[in-house]
Structure 1
Amino acid sequence: NVYEWVINQQGDVSTWMGMQTSVPEPQLPTLGNIKTYEVQSVKQVDDGMWQADVQAEILRPKSIGPDRSHLPGIAIATFDTRAASYDLGDIKVPASQVQRDLSENLSMAFTQSGRFRVLDRSYLADIEKELQTVSQGSIAPEEMARLGQRKGADLLLVGTIEDFQIGDSDREFYGAKMGGYDPYVRVRYRLIDTTTTEILWSDLYEWDKPEATIRAMAREQKIDDRNHPERLADILYPEIARAIAGDATDVLYPVQVIKVDGETVFLSQGQGRLEKDGIMKVYRPAGEMKDPDTGMTIKLEGEALATLKISDVRPDYGIARVEGEAGALQVGDRVRPDKQAQNASEQPAGQAATPGSSEAPLKW
């Protein structure tokens, strides 16, 4: 019987243990198909136990598309929740549905970024079953990172959905109840290196936009926002996922300028990272220096060179137009969202602007 297989590959050592075979099988877990093998030496360890050195030629599957084996593998854990359900208008949605929908959109955003191998949800099924993360609360990130590494993940995204509320029906105006739309979404997340269990990035995502923005989104999508606020959540999930995936991706792969053609700028990332009409700032690396306290490398950047507006988003890249005056841009310049500009563009709560809207007094 085979007691233990020790696999050596490029200095890495992994182990598969089992006692199911009487002879080496042509297929072994994690090894793939064995084309040929040769027993080089055999020695007896104790009664009934022998040790053999075997050299084998392994057939490995080849991907139909481009080779992605060099990309880091990321597993997205089901985010914890602080409540059993969330209010979307007059409708209560189970926390499990919010968890599932957010997880699916995060997987989509990371996949579309083209920078990661997103591991299938089945890779985390055993982890979640073993630790019962949903029913018994969160666990230490270090422990989940170790389990994620066992499942083949280089990176692990974990988090907590602290709030996910859209709308309320408690407002009254001269005795009449009116449905309001005060959205409040808070998601705290961490990106963990499973090898070192180091937290590479940690942040709090807050989606707290004015009520008028919600209604404008509903009108654009032809949603009856007064009676079906739960459908607004379908618009929020992709936006939340893009923001979280974008910030996490920037830790390893910041968006860069890959081509400049006059006022048109081509960017290194597209779907899953960029959003049409998004406002971005361009920065140029200005060298590196050592932190005198930690010895870590600090990457310097100069002032913003230009403001870009995303005009088109393709699967593998984005296209932007230069807004206003700009310095000479070049390949390799870094690009980040201009969050201040996006917040300033939000309208105050109330009716949408019309051709006659103005802060000036009316003139008859």
Structure 2
Amino acid sequence: MLSSLIAVALVGCGEQKVEKPQEEAPKAVGPSLTQTPDVGKVEQIQVTAKGMGVTPGAAVNDALKTAIMQVNGTRVEAVSATLNTFSNATANLDVQTASGYRDSAEATATLQSQNFADQIVSESKGMVTSFRVVKMLAPKSKGDIYTVDIEAKIAKFAAPADAGKIKIVVAPLKSNVAAYDIGGTVVPASEVLNPIRQQIIDALSQTGRFTILDRQFEADIEGELDMIGSGKSANTDFAKLGQALAADLVWIGVVNDLAYKKHARKLQTSDRELVSYSGAWSVSQRLINLTTRQILQSNTLQGTPPSVKPTTLGAGVDSNAMLASIRNEIVKNATEAIILRTFPISIVERDGNMVVLSQGGQAVRENRRYQIYLQGKEIKDPQTGQSLGNMESLCCEVVINRVTPNLSYGTLENIKIELSSVQPGALQIREALADRPEAAAAAPEAVHQPVPAAEHKPVAQPAVARSAPTAQAPRVKQSEDW
């Protein structure tokens, strides 16, 4: 009965609906369209410091120098000297002190005045953006010194995040010759060496693993810095002076040999010439630790462009295309050697024999074959305690199928160990392997033999042979004199 009455009462009162709060629609997630390059910025750091001196001005100078060094380190020694240690702002104060300050409260009032603070800020040229003397203790007897406590905001340049990466300088390539013979065309050395250097800089920059430092346009950069020092820019920009980064590594390359020569021999039985083309290149490279002058890597890179076999049919070579092909091979081999030495490429994911490698871009090349090693226990020199690297055992080979800017994908072949219990990160690339003979034999020869005009028979031109999957064979053209 009671339950029935309660039910009737509820019906009589009417059913009350409780409205649920509306949930906010999820915010759209998309790319940041306002992101700007990280070039560093000038920050203001609040500090306190104590200074001592035989005069109030000397004490203030000492306190300011301490405050600046707290924020920017000993690098500001030279900057403080340039600013004459704020002596212009404190000179009048010291003159008054020499005339006979008898009241320490009067001297403190002068130090704490807004006029004096403005002079210090102005004299600092933006390094000090606010200044205040908290207290001053005057000497109680002859021979004592003044003591000053200050508060100040010091400008500090916050370097970009990339400044924490390995900093490398690519030095201009060197050569013992003034020009190179490329298919019968004499090419000045500068037209060969400068593009190679620029392409190496481009390739290393695209890996995202290095901070590349410029040493080519120093005069232009110094001109911009001089404008800051002259006071023509905002005062806060003064903190940007003295912030140049020093290199960790220097890459040095020497071109020992680079040529693709035309060989011609006149036939005894006719007035025709037997013409062929062949060449090679050799570049010695060193990777040097700038601080210790230690050579971290030293080797010689070599290559042989596809040759043109002897023919009497007036074959010729596109010198520009051949030179571009040689330059590309040098750049790829040099970049590959640098990256493998500084950032070993490891396998980060594996699904059976399909693997994902930790780097892409210019680090590896599509269709190229690399040797993989399994990393074991770390070995240390018993005399110096220095790490000598890890024990390594030959694992397998990987053929790169696809390369993206940050990753690459490949297939494992010739596996020599059991991989079921191996962690992916323990497998690392050590060196590139030469193409297999059967692969090279399968490619047609890089020779074009045009048919004499008298026969009037079109001939299909065979494809170009490649000494490496990425090598570009010379484009062969018919001689105009034929």
Structures share a fold, TM > 0.5? yes
- The alpha-carbon distance between structure 1 residues 82 and 305, as it changes in their structure 2 partners (threshold 3 A), is same
Report the equivalent of 1:26. Answer: 126
1:266 aligns to 2:353 (yes or no): no
Q: Which residue number in structure 2 is paired with residue 155 of structure 1?
A: 249
CA contact (8 A) 2:181 2:187 kept: yes
Is 1:205 the counterpart of 2:301? The answer is: yes
Give the structure with higher Rg (CA).
Answer: 2
Q: What does the per-residue CA deviation read over 1:9-47, in whole Å, with 9 as the maximum and x for residues that have no partner? A: 7996435457488721126xxxxxx655668999xxxxx
1:189 aligns with 2:282: no
Q: CA RMSD in A?
A: 4.0
- Partners of 1:79 and 1:178 lie apart in 2 by 36
**Mapping for residues 1-364 of structure 1, pairs under 5 Å:** 8=69, 13-14=74-75, 16-17=78-79, 19=82, 23-26=123-126, 36=130, 56-58=153-155, 60=157, 67-122=161-216, 152-165=246-259, 167-172=260-265, 174=267, 176-211=272-307, 226-291=316-381, 296-325=386-415, 327-328=418-419, 330-332=423-425, 333-341=427-435, 345-347=439-441, 351=445
Structure 1 Cα separation of the partners of residues 150 and 261 of structure 2: 69
Please say which of residues 169-178 and 100-109 is displaced more in the overlay. 169-178
The 3 A distance-change label for structure 1 pair 243 and 351 is: closer
d(CA) in 2 for partners of 1:156, 1:273: 18
Secondary structure, counterpart of 2:162 in structure 1: coil
SS in 1 for 2:256: strand
TM-score with structure 2 setting the length = 0.53
Letter in 1 for 2:330: I
Cα 1:256–1:8 shift into 2, 3 Å: farther
User: 1:212 Cα shift?
Assistant: 6.3
Q: How big is the shift at 1:76?
A: 0.7
- Equivalents in 1 of 2:202, 2:184: separation in Å? 29
Summarize the Cα distance change of 1:240–1:280 in structure 2 as closer, same or farther, 3 Å threshold: same
- Structure 2 counterpart SS, 1:152: coil
Identity of aligned residues (%): 22
Deviation at 1:171, TM superposition (A): 2.2
Higher share in helix? 2
Tell whether the 8 Å contact from 2:378 to 2:389 is kept in structure 1 after alignment: yes
| Structure 1 stretches lacking a partner, 5+ long | 28-33, 43-51, 127-148, 214-224, 356-364
- In structure 2, relative to structure 1, the CA distance for the partners of 1:352 and 1:19 (3 Å cut) is closer
Task: Kindly provide the CA deviation profile for residues 228-286 of structure 1, in whole angstroms up to 9, marking residues without a partner as x.
Answer: 12322222323312221222222221111111123321111111211110101211111
Question: Aligned partners of 2:391 and 2:380: how far apart in 1?
Answer: 14
Tell me the number of residue pairs that the alignment of Structure 1 and Structure 2 aligns. Answer: 302
Q: Which has the higher strand share?
A: 1
SS at match of 1:231: helix
SS in 2 for 1:316: coil
SS for the counterpart of 2:410 is strand
TM-score (normalised: structure 1): 0.69
Extract unaligned runs of 5+ from structure 2: 1-60, 89-122, 137-148, 221-242, 310-314, 448-461, 464-482
Change (3 A) 1:104 1:343: farther
Structure 2 vs 1, CA of residues 352 and 245 (structure 1 numbering), >3 Å: closer, same or farther? closer
The 1-side partners of 2:437 and 2:212 are apart by: 31
Aligned to 1:221: none
Structure 1 residues 253 and 173, CA gap change in structure 2 (3 angstroms) = same
Amino acid at match of 1:168: K
Which letter maps to 1:25? K
Q: Which amino acid aligns with 1:283?
A: Y
Residue aligning to 1:141: none
Equivalent position SS for 2:336: helix
